[in-house]
Structures are given as structure tokens and as C-alpha cells.
Amino acid sequence: MNQEVGAIMNYCYKRFPVKIYEKVIPEQFQVPSMYFPDAWVNTRNDTVSTFLKTYTLHIKVFHKDSGQAHDAAETIVDALSADRNIIQMVAEDGKPLDQYMRIKRAETRIADQGVATIVLTWDSAYWYNRDAQPSLDDINFSDGVIKREQD
């Protein structure tokens, strides 16, 4: 799981504190609860220095019936909207960091009997691999001539 999904889990749990499942849902799972599967990822070029990964996460919210599941999902998405779709990042131990992410799309829908889905989409930029560039410390500016110092 990446750090952004962890921050989303933390955010959702604070608004709907129930049992959370990550990898698999057991046959006898607790109701109400939430399930966070792996996010879908789409990668594309962004800038000359970065590429963009668009993540889509389908969170399942389980409750006694579909109406209650959808109400819980909508409560989470309404809180997110009221927070301008901004989620504070958290460290692995749950402590808040001075970093934030922005959800670009959030929706809810009834998925099955007693199940609602929250669909969240966000973008993250990552640096391309680059060749190492010489440091300015390796350049000699003496005598009005620029020379690279040799080891």
C-alpha cells in the first residue's frame, strides 16, 4: 500500500470508525466495516521532469442494508468535500505530516445488498530518472576560464 492510500484509510476511519480490511475480506466479516483494495493506476507523461500516476480507489462500505451503507459512504464523501478534497498525509505510526494530497474526484454508489462503494481519484507526480549532473563544486572559475576539476 502506498502512503496516500494509508492517508485515505486514516481519513475515512476518523469519519466512520469501523473494522477495516485491506488485503482480503474474510468469509465471516464484521458489519459495519470498510474494505480498501489496491488502487488502479494509470501512468502518463506530465512535464519534462515528471510523469503522472492517476490512482483510482474503490472503497467498499459494508452495513446492515444498502441505504445505511450508502449513507455512511456519503457522510465520508461529504466531509471530504467540506475539506476541499484535501487529505493530510500521515506517517506509518498515524502521526500527521505537513504534507497534503488532493482528491480530484469522489463519488458514491450502491454496489450490492448492504454494500456501497466510494470511488476516489487523485494524481501524483514522480520524477523521471536523470543522469547525475556535475556539481558546481567541481568547476574551477580561476583565471577567468571555466574548467572542470579532474579527480
Can you give the pLDDT of all 151 residues of the chain as single tens digits? 689 999 999 999 999 999 999 989 999 999 999 999 999 999 999 898 999 999 999 999 999 999 999 999 999 999 999 999 999 999 988 899 999 999 999 999 999 999 999 999 999 999 998 877 767 666 666 666 665 666 5
Q: How many CA atoms lie within 13 A of 70 on its CB side?
A: 10
3-state SS, residue 48: coil
What's the alpha-carbon Rg for the chain, to the nearest Å?
Answer: 22
Distance of CA 70 to CAs 17, 63, 92, 119, Å? 15, 9, 29, 12
What domains appear along the chain, each with residue ranges and CATH number? Answer: 3-148 (3.30.2000)
pLDDT score of 139? 66
* CB neighbours of residue 15 within 10 Å: 13
Q: What span, in angstroms and rounded, lies between the C-alpha atoms of 132 and 130?
A: 6
pLDDT score of 2? 85
Three cell numbers, residue 41 = 493506476
pLDDT score of 130? 80
pLDDT score of 93? 86
pTM of the predicted model as reported, rounded to 2 decimal places: 0.82
pLDDT score of 45? 92
